[in-house]
Amino acid sequence: MHSQTGNKHNNKLVKFPQECQKAYKDYCNWLSNGNSIEAWCYESPEMTLSYKTIEKYIREFPDDFPSIHKEIALTKSLRVWEERGLTMMLGQLEKCQPAIFQMFMRNKFGWDKEDMSKKQNNETLVEKFLDRLDKMDA
């Protein structure tokens, strides 16, 4: 059942494989409902898992914990929050705070974080353009 990568010795995955699968489904359901990764934990009589552990399992045991399930859950999470925003924009939500919603979305989904590689590429293009202008003026 386990892939070849990762440490499989003395961990919950070896002792409780079915419970770990239940935890992964719970994790994906949690995310699908619009909740944050960092706020998830799984507790049962057999074990307790944090989001860090389940994320490690996704990375190290991709055959047992296919990342597509998490990706779909994150897509559904975004849909939850976009629907809430649309409800607010259409005036269907009483006592809404658009600024708070906007701040939440920036924090949760990184809407105002610029991709550093894109930023560096843009700066390089600007530098090349300015350099070319300098050469044309000379």
pLDDT band at 91 (very low <50, low <70, confident <90, very high): confident
pTM (global) more than 0.85: no
pLDDT band at 99 (very low <50, low <70, confident <90, very high): confident
The 10 Å Cβ neighbour count of residue 88 is 15
Nearest to 55 by CA among 92, 87, 24, 93: 24
Q: Which residues contact 29 (CB under 8 A, 6 or more apart)?
A: 73
Domain ranges of the chain: 12-77
pLDDT above 90 as % of the chain: 45
Nearest to 70 by CA among 83, 54, 81, 86: 54
The 10 Å Cβ neighbour count of residue 118 is 9
- Per-residue pLDDT of 38-77, as tens digits, reads 999 999 999 999 999 999 999 999 999 999 999 999 999 9
Query: 65: helix, coil or strand?
Result: coil
| CA 71 to chain CA centroid, nearest Å | 8
